[in-house]
Amino acid sequence: MRARDTAVPAAALLCLAGAAPAAAADAWTAGPAAGRPYVYLEGAAGSVLQDTVSVTNSGARPVSVRLTGAGGTGQKASVPLALAARAVTVPARTRADVPFAVTVPADAAPGERTGTVVVSAGGREVPVRVHLRISGPRLAALTVERVRVDDAGTVHYTLVNRGNTALAPRLSVRADGVFGTVLDRPARALPLTLRPGERRALTEPWPDRPALDAVTVQLTVTAGDGARATARAEARFASAGAPAVLGGALLAAAAAAGRALRRQRRTPPEPPDEEQLLTPTAAGASR
């Protein structure tokens, strides 16, 4: 009989907790252990790092808090936060230390990331910031692939980040025709950020492309830390009024002539040999 009198249903406990003064629910604080402004962790890819969140109850009644871990932001996927406990009841005038661990993915790129441990109770939330620095050598590398020019003059290409750090690429475009340069666009920043391993298909418009020409289009892409890549594509343009066979033959002949002319300009003339230099002198001596 006494056991039934002292038993308190769970619903009654919730009602009693809700009837507590608001000040009691607010009489707690949360933050990194040892009074730091935020948690700072540093380690290499594949490591497991640990720290502690402290919840201090300065009130006269116990306080039950919940803890959740929000994954970090950064160059790749968020870093998981594993808490030792999701719910803790802190006695009056007591501090509870809750350990947590951060597992750095084995393929994580070096750089800075952030996360948060959120402590909540009584309708109030307190975020505890977690700063993570992943150590290791930074590799900036990219490639330009699948370059082609369609009939409308649009240049299609694919950028691939081959390194382990995010890149902000810059693109320059040049096109040389049979009789000289027909397009020369200086380097400009592209409105995108390539994450490690990311592949992005892009296009470059060329509305004023030649009506009749055979061109070589070269794309040059650069990014921070010395990343650089180039790629080329051949294209032929023929006006709509010209017959296809005649236009193609003219373009082929013009392209061959242009390449020969460019090679001739690049190749210096060979110096005459000694026999050629001596022949006129010998002829003069005989006369």
Residue range(s) of every CATH 2.60.40.10 domain in the chain: 27-135, 142-266
What amino acid is encoded at 87 in this protein? A
What pLDDT is stored for residue 173 in this prediction?
Answer: 98
Listed as ranges, residues in the chain with pLDDT below 50 are 1-23, 73-77, 244-247, 275-287
Backbone φ and ψ for 99, nearest 5 degrees, come out as -70, 155
pTM of the model: 0.53
pLDDT value at residue 139 = 87
Report pLDDT for 45. Answer: 87
Report how far residue 7's alpha carbon sits from residue 11's, in angstroms, rounded to the nearest whole number.
12
Q: Which amino acid, residue 159?
A: L
Strand-pairing partners, residue 59, are none
Burial class (CB in 10 A: 0-12, 13-18, 19+), 113: buried
Task: Confirm or reject CATH 2.40.50.140 for domain 142-266, answering yes or no.
Answer: no
Q: 157 phi and psi, to 5 degrees?
A: -160, 165
> Is residue 261 a contact partner of residue 176, using CB atoms and an 8 Å limit?
no
Decide: 128 and 116 in contact? Cβ < 8 Å: yes
Note the helical H segments in the chain: 2-6, 10-18, 22-25, 244-266, 274-286
Residues 8-36 as b/e (b if ≥16 CB within 10 A, e otherwise) read: eeeeeeeeeeeeeeeebbebbebbbeeee
Protein fold of 27-135: Immunoglobulin-like (2.60.40)
CA distance linking residue 161 with residue 190, whole number of Å: 14
State the amino acid at position 203 in one-letter form: T
